[in-house]
């Protein structure tokens, strides 16, 4: 698959002011689910530096096509057809090959296929809402889907989630494990959303907002949105630490 | 002015939300036909080396209520202390052990369960040995950034006492929050998000 020996250095520390804090009372559920004591730090050990990897043989033919992977033969999911594409990069800007990217979303009406979902918008019988792919040699990935609708959720009396796709990304080390959400350029709901606003830094929110890319649309078929994902970078060991006497 | 280091920022985390099952455990949810099986449901097979164990528990919020919409992943060494990963440089791990498990909590009880093997000891960066442990990663609605913790074994008292991570914890009276309870081959590890018994979480 790829012949370059993987890097095995420890990771850059997480910037916990860039990420949302645990306790964010405007997102009410966080109040009783946020640890209140300080996190304990320790240097990366082998268990943080290593992580599970998944082979391409895992993937089914339609895993990266949400328009068809749950549809009955000859049918397809309803909604605005889009391609989402981009790269999985590390903080040094290098593509990370061979990593599993999973995604899930509501249908075009904003309704999830889930037993606990209560929104009155209709289910699409041809839309399951999940997909996955593995990044290529240069870290690139892509999938096809329909644009998810915004939906209301019980938090304030009138809180609506902007259109979004949930992403779960594996790196090459377990300390890179990340779940996040992709938003869509131009959505006025982004800046009103209590979940988006758990993030304090405007630049971090923009980084989660995919750009409409008319240069990569498929004419008469689907528009494209570009969404790069950045995982923690590894320290390169310019000089090794050596124990005394070694 | 100075030169730009050219570094990017890690993508900010967002909560996994209440419907994390759709993307990570669709068969558990009842959405069948997309993936043959959910990833991470089997860590072992008939040929896996080591002592078979069950790890079970619940995640409990600040009101004492178990989370019923959380997803847990675990990552651990094999019985010989090696990780099944391309970034493991110390040798080849047991090919019949994945080291990685993933499960949602039960929709009614909040209980999670993993069938695995007891891990071997692994080194700390300074080459002291760490006691056998299992790394946990927890995501759910209301959790903005995945929580990391470790489960240690109550029957490894001596190794635990020497463990470099446990030793650096200032408030030693919190260490028991990381140690499972043993009953036969079952280890129970309840994780408390808040309160007097708040589990120790790590910034790794
Ligand atoms: Fe959502």
Question: What confidence tens digit (pLDDT) does each residue in A198-237 have?
Answer: 999 999 999 999 999 999 999 999 999 999 999 999 998 7
In a domain, A196, yes or no: yes
- Secondary element (H or E) of residue B102: strand B100-104
- pLDDT value, residue A8: 85
The residue behind tokens 């095995």 is A8
Contact criterion met (CB below 8 Å) for A31 and B141? no
> B16: which residues sit within 8 A by CB, 6+ positions away?
A166, A168, A179, B71, B139, B140, B141, B143, B146
Write out the residue range of the structural domain in which residue B25 sits: 15-192
Interface check B3 vs A, CB under 8 A: no
Q: B200 lies in a domain?
A: no
Contact B75 A40 (CB under 8 A): no
Distance (Å) from CA B15 to ligand 1 centroid: 9
Report yes or no on A6 lying in a domain. no
Task: Kindly state whether residue A33 falls inside one of the protein's structural domains.
Answer: yes
Q: Which of A113, A166, A177, A223 is catalytic?
A: A166
Q: Write the pLDDT tens digit of every residue in A125-157.
A: 999 999 999 999 999 999 999 999 999 999 999
Residue A239 belongs to some domain of the structure: no
Domain total of chain B: 1
Counting Cβ atoms within 10 Å, is residue A146 exposed (0-12), middle (13-18) or buried (19+)?
A: buried
Q: How far is A181 from chain B (nearest CA, A)?
A: 6
The alpha carbon of residue A140 is apart from the nearest alpha carbon of chain B, in Å, by 16
Question: CA B104, CA B24: separation in Å to the nearest integer?
Answer: 9
In this complex, do A52 and B198 lie within 8 Å of one another by their Cβ atoms? Answer: no
Task: Inform me whether the C-beta atom of residue B109 falls under 8 Å from chain A C-beta atoms.
Answer: no
Judge whether residue B17 has pLDDT over 60.
yes
**Interface mutation vs chain A, best among B87, B94, B172, most A CBs within 10 Å:** B87
Q: How far is the CA of A228 from the centre of ligand 1 (A)?
A: 19
Marked catalytic residue, from A27, A112, A183, A225: A112
pLDDT at A4 over 60: no
CA closest to B31 among chain A residues? A128
Look at residue A245 and tell me whether its pLDDT is greater than 60. Answer: no
Identify whether A106 is part of a domain.
yes
In a domain? residue B201? no
Domain of residue A53, residue span = 29-230
Angle at B19 between CA A53 and CA A232, to 5 degrees: 40
pLDDT tens-digit map of A8-29:
899 999 999 999 999 999 999 9
A42, A70, A241 member nearest B202 (Cβ): A42
Is position B4 within any domain?
Answer: no
B1: in domain? no
* A23 counts as catalytic: no
pLDDT at res. A7: 81
Domain count, chain A: 1
- Provide the CATH number for the domain around residue A64: 2.60.130.10
Ligand 1 centre from B118 Cα, in Å?
36
pLDDT at A244 over 80: no
CB contacts, 8 Å: A89 with chain B: 8
- Domain annotation covers residue B132: yes
Query: How far is the C-alpha of A97 from the C-alpha of A171, rounded, in Å?
Result: 9
* Chains A & B: contacts with CB separation below 8 Å: 275
What integer is the mean pLDDT of A186-192?
98
Interchain pair A19, B145: CB under 8 A: yes
- Tokens 């309160």 correspond to B195
pLDDT value at residue B51: 98
User: Does the distance separating the beta carbons of B84 and A207 come in below 8 Å?
Assistant: no
Scanning B170-189 for CB atoms below 8 A from A yields 174
Q: What is the CATH number of the domain that holds B131?
A: 2.60.130.10
Q: Per the domain annotation, does B181 fall within a domain?
A: yes
CA distances from B138 to A179, A243, B29, B85, B163 (A): 11, 35, 18, 21, 23
In this predicted structure, what is the pLDDT of residue A1? 44
| For residue A242, pLDDT beyond 80 | no
CA of B196 to the centre of ligand 1 (A): 32
Residue A73 belongs to a domain: yes
Q: What is the pTM of this model?
A: 0.96
Q: Which of A91, A198, A208 sits opposite B144 (nearest CB)?
A: A198
Q: What is the mean pLDDT of chain A?
A: 95
Please answer yes or no on whether B14 and A37 come within 8 Å at the CB atom. Answer: no
> Is pLDDT of A59 > 60?
yes
Question: CA A228, A170, A214: angle at the middle one, nearest 5?
Answer: 20
- Other beta carbons within 10 Å of B131: 22
| Residue A173 located in a structural domain | yes
Assigned domain for A241 exists: no
A243 confidence band (pLDDT: 50, 70, 90): low
């Amino acid at each position: 698959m790829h012949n370059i020996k993987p890097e095995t250095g420890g990771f850059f520390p997480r910037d916990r002011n860039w990420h949302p804090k645990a306790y964010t009372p405007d997102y009410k559920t966080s109040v009783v689910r946020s640890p209140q004591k300080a996190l304990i730090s320790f240097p990366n050990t082998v268990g943080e530096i290593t992580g599970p990897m998944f082979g391409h043989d895992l993937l089914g033919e339609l895993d990266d096509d949400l328009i068809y992977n749950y549809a009955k033969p000859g049918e397809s999911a309803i909604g605005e057809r889009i391609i989402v594409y981009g790269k999985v990069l590390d903080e040094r800007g290098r593509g990370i090959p061979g990593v599993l990217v999973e995604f899930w979303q509501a249908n075009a009406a904003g309704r999830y296929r889930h037993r606990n979902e209560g929104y009155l918008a209709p289910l699409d019988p041809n839309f399951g809402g999940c997909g996955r792919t593995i990044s290529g040699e240069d870290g690139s990935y892509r999938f096809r889907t329909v644009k998810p609708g915004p939906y209301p959720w019980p938090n304030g009396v009138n809180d609506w989630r902007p259109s979004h796709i949930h992403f779960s990304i594996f790196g090459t080390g377990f300390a890179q494990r990340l779940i996040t959400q992709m938003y869509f350029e131009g959505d006025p709901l982004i800046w009103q959303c209590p979940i988006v606003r758990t993030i304090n830094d405007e630049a971090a929110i923009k980084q989660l907002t995919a750009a409409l890319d008319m240069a990569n649309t498929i004419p008469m078929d689907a528009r494209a949105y570009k969404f790069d994902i950045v995982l923690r970078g590894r320290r390169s060991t310019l000089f090794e630490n050596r124990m005394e006497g070694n | 002015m100075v030169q730009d280091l050219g570094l990017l920022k890690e993508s900010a985390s967002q909560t996994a939300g209440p419907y994390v099952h759709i993307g990570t455990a669709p068969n558990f949810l009842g959405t069948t036909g997309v993936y043959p099986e959910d990833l991470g449901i089997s860590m072992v097979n008939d040929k896996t080396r080591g002592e078979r164990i069950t790890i079970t528990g619940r995640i409990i919020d600040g009101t004492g209520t178990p989370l019923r919409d959380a997803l847990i992943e675990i990552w651990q060494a094999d019985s010989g202390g090696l990780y099944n990963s391309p970034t493991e440089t110390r040798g080849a791990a047991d090919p019949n052990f994945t080291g990685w498990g993933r499960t949602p909590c039960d929709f009614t009880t909040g209980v999670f369960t993993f069938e695995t093997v007891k891990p071997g000891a692994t080194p700390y960066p300074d080459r002291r040995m760490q006691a056998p442990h299992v790394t946990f990663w927890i995501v759910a609605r209301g959790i903005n950034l995945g929580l990391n913790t470790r489960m240690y074994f109550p029957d490894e008292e001596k190794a635990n006492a020497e463990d470099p991570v446990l030793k650096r914890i200032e408030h030693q009276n919190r260490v028991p929050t990381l140690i499972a309870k043993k009953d036969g081959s079952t280890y129970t590890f309840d994780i408390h998000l808040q309160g007097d018994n708040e589990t120790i979480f790590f910034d790794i």
